[in-house]
Every structure is written in C-alpha cells, then in structure tokens.
Amino acid sequence: MRFFDSLARNLIRVGGIGTIVAVSTVFVFLVWVVAPLFRSAGLGELRPIGTAATQLAADERVIAASEDDTLTTVWAYTSSARFVVLPGGASSGRGASSGQPGGELLGEFRPFPTAPTAYAFPVRSTQAVFGFADGTTRLVRAAASTEYRNAASMPRNVMQRSVGETFIFEGRVARRVSADQFELHTVQFVADEPIQVSEGAAIVAVDASETPTGPVEASVDADGILRVTRLTKSRNLLTGMERVETETGQIALRPSHSRGLPRWLLLHGGGNSAIAVWEDGRAVRVDVSDLESLKVAEEVDLSADAAAHLTQVAWLNGKNTLIVGDSNGNVKAWFRVPAPSMSTADGMHFLPAHNLGRGPASVTALGSSARTRSMAVGYGDGTLRLFNITSGNLLAEGRNASSRPLSIVSLAPNDDSLVAWDGEFVIAAVDAPHPEASLGALLRPVWYEGYRSPEHSWQSSSGTDEFEPKLGLWPLVFGTIKATFYSMLFGVPIALMAAIYTSEFLRPEVKSVVKPAIELMASLPSVVLGFLAALVFAPVVEGIVPQILAALVTVPFVLLLCAHLWQLFPQGLRSGMQGRRFVLSGVAIVLGLGAAMVVGPLLERWLFIGDVKLWLDGKAGEATGGWLLLTLPASVLASVVIGGRAERFERLLPGATGVQALLRFLLLSLVSVAAALLVAEGLSLAGLDLRGSLLGTYIQRNALIVGFVMGFAVVPIIYTIAEDALSSIPENLRAGSLALGATPWQTAVRIVVPTAMSGLFSAIMVGLGRAVGETMVVLMAAGNTPVLQWNVFNGFRTLSANIAVELPEAVRNSTHYRTLFLAALTLFVMTFFLNTAAELIRIRFRKRAYQL
C-alpha cells in the first residue's frame, strides 16, 4: 500500500512538473530560434594560402578573384591577362597539413591574343566582360564544375584518404564525400566571340548586365563615346548554329568641363541606365532605356569631400545600389529614387542613401555578396569591414595580419568565406547568417533601395535572390494594434453594458439561459467568423456604408427615445414588464436599425455628395460629414454633462415629469446635433479634413468589418469575466444600498460597478489579449496589406495573419523564418503580459470582494 502511495506520488510529481516544464518550453524554444537573429556576425582570422611566388609571377597583380560555393577552388584574373585556378579555403587549410603545396596553380586560361584595355566583373553573374584596343568586347564565363567518381575508378594511393579530406588530384581539387565516392572540383572558362563595338577606338571602360531579354553591354571608347549594346542570341533550329545579333545606341559624353575620360562605367542591373564615373567624383548618368536616343539623365557629384578622390566604385548585388569608396576612407551607398518632379530625363534621381562612415584609411577594395545585401570593404591599412547596406550596420571587422592593404576582396557565393589579395592570397571565414537583422532594422524606418525616404515596410520575399527583403515589423505591429483598437471600440461597451444588465437587472431564470447563450458565442470557431466576415458581411456592408454610419447614431437615439416614451406609460404596466425590458430594448434596436436604413441614404445625399465611396476617395465634397463622426460623440458627451447639471432649466419645461424628461432629452439631442454640425462645419471651413487619416478610400475588407466580427470573439470573453466579477459582489452591499433608499440603478452604478471595477478591468485586458492574437478573422477579412493607415475603411496585416500566410513558405532557419518566430514571440509576450496583469488584478479583486 505504501508502495502504491509513493509510486503515485512520484508519478504525479514527475508527470505534473514535466507537463508544466513542457509548456514552458514553448517560450524557451521561441527565444532559442529568435536569438541567432541578434547574434553579431563573425569574421575569422585573415590567413594567407600558399606564397605568391609559387602562384604568380613577381610583377603579376590580381585584378579579380572569386571562390566557389564549396570553398574548394578559387579562380583569379591577373594583370598578365590570364585566368588562374587555385585550391580554395577548404582545401588549403588541410592541404598544408597533409604536405600539399597550398598555393599550387591548378590551371590557367589565356583567352586573349592581346591584353584587354578595360574589364568588369559584375556581381553574381559568372561572366566577365573585357574591352580591347581594337574596339571589341568579349564575354568570358567562368563556371565551377564538379565531377563525381566512384572509388573503384580511383588509383590505390588516394583510397587511404579519409572521408571529408581534401587533396589535389589530376590538377583538380578532390574530396572524399563517402566511402565510395569522390568529388573533383575545378573551374572551366568559356570565352565568347569578340563583338565589334566601336570603329577602331580603344575601349576604356566597360560593363555588362544580364537582363531577362539577354545580355547588355556598355562601353566607353577613347573618343568619349558611350555605347550600349544589346545582344540577342538566336539558334537556328535546322543547323543548330547560334547567331548573335546586336543592337547598339551611342551618345558622346560631353561633361561641362574637360576632365578626360571616365574611370569607371557602370550599367544598371535592368540595363536601362548607365553611369560614367570620373575619379574626382563627377558622374554622368545616362538613360539608355531607348537605344535609339540615349539621353543624359543627370550629372551628380559622388565624392564625399572635396579633398578626396574616388578609389573604388562597385555595384551591390542586384546592380541598383552603387557603393562608392574614396581616398579618405568614406563609403557611401547611392541608388535611384523616383524624382519628385520628374526633373530628369527618366524621372529618377540618384541619391546617397546610406553613409557607412569613415574608415581608417583609403578604400582599396569592395566585394559584394552574391546573395545578401552585404559588402566587404578593404582599407589601405589592411583593415577589412563587413557592412550590411540595407541597415547600414557594421557587421564585423578584421585586420590583415601583414597590414598590407587588400586590393581585392571577394565574398564566396554562400557568404561563408572570403578571399582577398594583398600581394598574396588571403582567406577568412565569414559568419554572418542574418546580416539584415537588427533591432533597428526590424522596428525603425529603413531606407530601402528605390524608396524616396526611409520607410516602414514589410515585404519579405520575392522570386529573385537580388531582391532586398524588407523586414520592418512595425506595419504588422501597427496592423495588430489597429485590429485590436477597432474591435475593442465595438466590443467593450456592448460587453460591459450587457454584463451590468445581466448581473443587476436580469431575473435569475432568464440569466441562466442568456449567459450560456452568449458564452456559446465564444466557442464559435474563428474560421467561421472569418468566412462570414469576408464572404457574407463584407459585400453586404460595402453596399450600405451610409446606413452603417447612420446606425451609429440612430440606434442609441431610438433606444433612449423609446426609454423616455416608456416612462410615460403608467407605473403599473411598467413594473409588470420590468423583466422583459431588454426584450423591448431589442425591439428598439431593430427599430433603430430600420431608422438607419431610412436615414442613411438621406445622409449620403446630404453630407457625402450622394456617393459615400466617391466622397471617401477624397476627391470631392466637403469634410463636414467626416468630422461629424468625431464631433457628434463629443457634443453628446458634453450635453450629457451640461444637461445633467442644468436643474433649473428643467422646471421651465411644461408637463408631467415624464414629459419633462422626454422634452429635455429631445432638446438636448437637438442641441448636441446642432453643436456637432457647427463645429464640424467650422473645422471643414478651416480646411481640416479627416480623409487621409481616420477615413479614406473604401476597401471591401477593412477594419470596420474586422471590428464588428471580432466582436463575436471578444464580447463573450469580456462579458463572462465581467459578469462573474459583478455577480461576486456580496449581496449585503446591494441590500444595504437599497435599504438606504437607493434605486436599483443607483445601486448598480454607485455601489456594484465601482466595487467590481478591477474585475471589469481585468475582463477588458483578457479581451484585449484575445483580440491581439486572433488569426483567422483578420487573415480572411482584413485584406492583409501591410499599410500604415488608421483609416477605418482600409485593411491591414497583423502579426498573426502574417505568420499564418508566410511561415509555411519560409525557408527553415533563414532570416525570414526567424523574423516570423520573432513575431510569434512578440505575440506570446504581449498576450502573456496582458493576461498576467489581468490575473493579478483579478486575484486582488477577489481578495477584496471576500473581505466585504
């Protein structure tokens, strides 16, 4: 017996504590997933691979270098007009220890009979473009190739290699991937046929972009002529021959003063605009969208200060943002934004959007990431910095051990590593999994590429890798707040009034039916509410907007009017119907809705130029109607306060007390409407308009619909908790109050409600928590556009709906994935705090209620 007892005790203890711990893992796990977002990036030690002597000739400089995805090979283009292939970071480290010469040249490729006069190595694209003295250009493609070999086909001596080991084999980098498989990595080059661009003048600057319609090349020749060439490849289906057609447009670069030829030429990713840049910072941007007529769009000065000259200019991934570095170490990011007054030829304006600050020495190298918006910058003293351009954050900083300046910096395609050249090859590990995330970037306005100014924006994904993800959480938080605000605006008054009536004025037998009925509303699946909101209510409401607006006024008015009329009935009849008062008020509500149906169209004709949607668009009509939405409640409130005090005035009215009350009510209503109209008219005449802030263009799925339908979710929760709080007020308090001559209404308002105030407050908090986290209703009925408008008639996107839409498609452990987890964590923390606060208040309240 004792055995069972202790067994049960232990089992229950373990199970109970285990369950509680399991529940708390939800929070821990969310934090665990989110945490890496805010971990700072790391940059490994910069270490040389091999010596320059074994790789290159003494006077040979490296002009461009790139590491492949597997980090096994590096290719470089040198001043001797050749491409060379070397073992990469992954192989050299191990290669040195296993006795392999890390700097061994694996291969070379000399595609050109004469040395080129200009070259460009565009980001991301695996092709480079070269210009020559005879006016031709050539494209060269470099592609990493991997061959898989069975162990059976490999010689004996390599079979002793362990799995994962890297070594040089037959002039390629080999790696054993499994017991019976080897990978052989190398880089292969293909040079296209030369294209005659200029008639004999040497090419001095060149660039190329890959557009959806084919490659586009831009070049400047020694005569200062800028040319843009579109290449169209067509394959003859019969012969299989490939033919390249070219289409060229040209313009002479005539800068305002003679400065010689531009040092750089940069072609936008879309191939529709080219920028020629001189070393002193002057730049001419040419609109090349129409090859028939190239136009100079604008001239800008890219230099940060007059004392410096530009040393490095390079595109960021996507070729829309230009990174400019100068001899003082300043780095800035420029991009095109729509010009405010279409003052340029293509309606765009080139702006310095991000200032990445001043480095320790002149900028010697820029290396753009191929998958994120990160940029590695090398400085003259051997410092290396890694920036994220979107957020402008410095991610990591390192220093070359030899302190020699890095003249080439190139990030590997997967951003795991970088290769640099300071006279010899240097590599470093890079650990920046979430470069675009920081608290500032997630919550503050960010200046995204192509935007006129820093903005809050959420736009998480797109088809291409060149897309700049916009992970501003504020629009989603705003959407959540907006949904909550409008649903509480509708839900709280109804729920509280219903609770007060139920607990104080409803007969117990009616209450035992009414309360479960409203609680049943809480169990309605929110998907049902969402469906009804989106597909049933939204189309109906769209057709009766003025009626809905009118109902806000007519329903309370008719209700009060009926109450005042009811007071005229003989006392006996009234007390007989006491219990059914709320049924009568239900009838009054229906009457009020009916009145709204009549008044609505009149209002539309009178205040909203006969078409409320046209009025909401803001193009026509006066602002008075909109202001009434605010001034009417205000003036009603004012007249209640003033009218309540104007005792003397009442005696002047004729008739019995009931009639007096009715007249007073009618008079006050009239006065408040008149006052509201007057103030609204005044505000309208003053030129103020609510359209554009609280009101605006009507969208079918909007905050009004969500607010109403969310009421179904929020009302029962607030109602139940509030009613419980009110009912738990001890009966002796009520009895005492009534015994002292107070009416039931006075007892309710002055004794019960104040005593239960904390309970009511906690009810509202719990309702708030529900509204914040509600998913299906907002997902289906809010339109899901992340806009930042308080407009009742516009949609929004909440944190919860956003998670539901995007998480299934988010790549696991990507920045997007973790940001969505952050959204979930935010929701968790918000609701947890709300509920805990509510619970604490409720406990305190309960204690007090017991003391009474």
Tokens 């009804």: give the residue: 532
CB of 570 to another protein, least distance (A): 14
* Of residues 731-760, those binding another protein (CB under 8 A): 742-746, 749
Considering only 11-19, 206-214, 330-338, 422-430, which stretch makes contact with another protein by CB under 8 A? 11-19
Query: Is the Cβ of residue 81 or residue 749 nearer to another protein in the bound state?
Result: 749
CB of 521 to another protein, least distance (A): 4
Chain CA centroid to CA 438, Å: 13
Residue from the set 53, 527, 678, 735 that interacts with another protein by CB under 8 A: 527
CB of 494 to another protein, least distance (A): 5
Say if CB 124 and CB 317 are below 8 A apart.
yes
Give counts: helices (H), strands (E), the chain.
23, 34
SS3 749: helix
Residue from the set 171, 440, 516, 730 that interacts with another protein by CB under 8 A: 516
Residues in the chain: 852
Q: How many residues bind another protein (CB under 8 A)?
A: 128
Backbone φ, ψ for residue 274 (5° rounding): -130, 150
CB of 609 to another protein, least distance (A): 17
Residue from the set 9, 141, 243, 507 that interacts with another protein by CB under 8 A: 9
Give the C-alpha separation, 668 to 356, whole Å.
64
CB of 529 to another protein, least distance (A): 8
Query: Is the Cβ of residue 9 or residue 235 nearer to another protein in the bound state?
Result: 9
Say if CB 790 and CB 691 are below 8 A apart.
no
Query: Is the Cβ of residue 122 or residue 783 nearer to another protein in the bound state?
Result: 783
* Of residues 401-460, those binding another protein (CB under 8 A): none
Say if CB 788 and CB 798 are below 8 A apart.
no
Angle between helices 2-34 and 815-851 (to 10 degrees): 130
Considering only 36-44, 306-314, 451-459, 588-596, which stretch makes contact with another protein by CB under 8 A? 588-596
CB of 632 to another protein, least distance (A): 15
* Of residues 764-783, those binding another protein (CB under 8 A): 766, 769-770, 772-776, 779-780
Strand-pairing partners, residue 85, are 75, 107
- Cα angle vertex 60, ends 56, 64, to 5°? 90
Query: Is the Cβ of residue 394 or residue 562 nearer to another protein in the bound state?
Result: 562
Give the C-alpha separation, 774 to 760, whole Å.
21
Query: Is the Cβ of residue 315 or residue 537 nearer to another protein in the bound state?
Result: 537
Give the pair of three-digit tokens for residue 559.
């209700």
Query: Is the Cβ of residue 29 or residue 606 nearer to another protein in the bound state?
Result: 29
CB of 705 to another protein, least distance (A): 14
Residue from the set 582, 727, 785, 846 that interacts with another protein by CB under 8 A: 582
Strand-pairing partners, residue 599, are none
- Cα angle vertex 38, ends 34, 40, to 5°? 140
Name the strand (E) or helix (H) holding 839: helix 815-851
Which positions from 612 to 641 touch another protein by CB under 8 A, shown as an x/- string? ----------------------------xx
SS3 118: strand
CB of 638 to another protein, least distance (A): 12
Can you say whether residue 704 is alpha, beta or left, with left for phi > 0 and alpha for psi between -120 and 50 degrees?
alpha
Which positions from 538 to 577 touch another protein by CB under 8 A, shown as an x/- string? -----------------xx--xx-xxx-xx----------
Give per-residue burial for 154-164: e unless 16+ CB within 10 Å, then b. beeebeebeee
* Of residues 668-697, those binding another protein (CB under 8 A): 668
* Of residues 141-170, those binding another protein (CB under 8 A): 150, 152
Say if CB 333 and CB 350 are below 8 A apart.
no
CB of 18 to another protein, least distance (A): 8
Closest CA to 117 of 137, 99, 102, 98: 137
Query: Is the Cβ of residue 465 or residue 650 nearer to another protein in the bound state?
Result: 650
Strand-pairing partners, residue 184, are 147, 174
Give the pair of three-digit tokens for residue 530.
């969402």
Residue from the set 525, 570, 572, 687 that interacts with another protein by CB under 8 A: 525
Residue from the set 115, 159, 489, 520 that interacts with another protein by CB under 8 A: 520
* Of residues 707-726, those binding another protein (CB under 8 A): 711-712, 715-716, 719
Query: Is the Cβ of residue 443 or residue 590 nearer to another protein in the bound state?
Result: 590
CB of 635 to another protein, least distance (A): 14
Residue from the set 143, 439, 536, 620 that interacts with another protein by CB under 8 A: 536
Name the strand (E) or helix (H) holding 418: strand 417-421
CB of 573 to another protein, least distance (A): 13
How, if at all, do strands 181-191 and 172-178 pair? antiparallel
CB of 177 to another protein, least distance (A): 13
Question: What CA–CA distances, in Å, run from 111 to 51, 137, 221, 616?
Answer: 25, 13, 22, 66
Say if CB 842 and CB 834 are below 8 A apart.
no
CB of 787 to another protein, least distance (A): 20
From edge to edge, which strands make up the β-sheet containing 273-277? 264-267, 273-277, 282-287, 295-301
* Of residues 350-409, those binding another protein (CB under 8 A): none
Structural Rg of the chain based on CA atoms: 37
Query: Is the Cβ of residue 528 or residue 620 nearer to another protein in the bound state?
Result: 528
Other Cβ atoms less than 10 A from the Cβ of 314: the count is 22
Backbone φ, ψ for residue 146 (5° rounding): -125, 130
* Of residues 459-498, those binding another protein (CB under 8 A): 493-498
Which positions from 28 to 47 touch another protein by CB under 8 A, shown as an x/- string? -xx--x--------------
CB of 790 to another protein, least distance (A): 23
Amino acid at 562: C
Question: What CA–CA distances, in Å, run from 574 to 425, 564, 566, 582, 738?
Answer: 98, 12, 8, 13, 20
Give the C-alpha separation, 41 to 37, whole Å.
10
* Of residues 783-842, those binding another protein (CB under 8 A): 800, 803-804, 807-808, 812, 820-821, 824, 827-828, 831-832, 834-836, 839-840
Query: Is the Cβ of residue 23 or residue 307 nearer to another protein in the bound state?
Result: 23
Considering only 208-216, 342-350, 501-509, 677-685, which stretch makes contact with another protein by CB under 8 A? 501-509
CB of 644 to another protein, least distance (A): 3
Residue from the set 502, 554, 631, 791 that interacts with another protein by CB under 8 A: 502
Tokens 């190239």: give the residue: 294
CB of 771 to another protein, least distance (A): 10
Say if CB 249 and CB 230 are below 8 A apart.
no
CB of 469 to another protein, least distance (A): 19
Chain CA centroid to CA 415, Å: 23
Which positions from 641 to 660 touch another protein by CB under 8 A, shown as an x/- string? x-xxx-x--xx-----xx-x
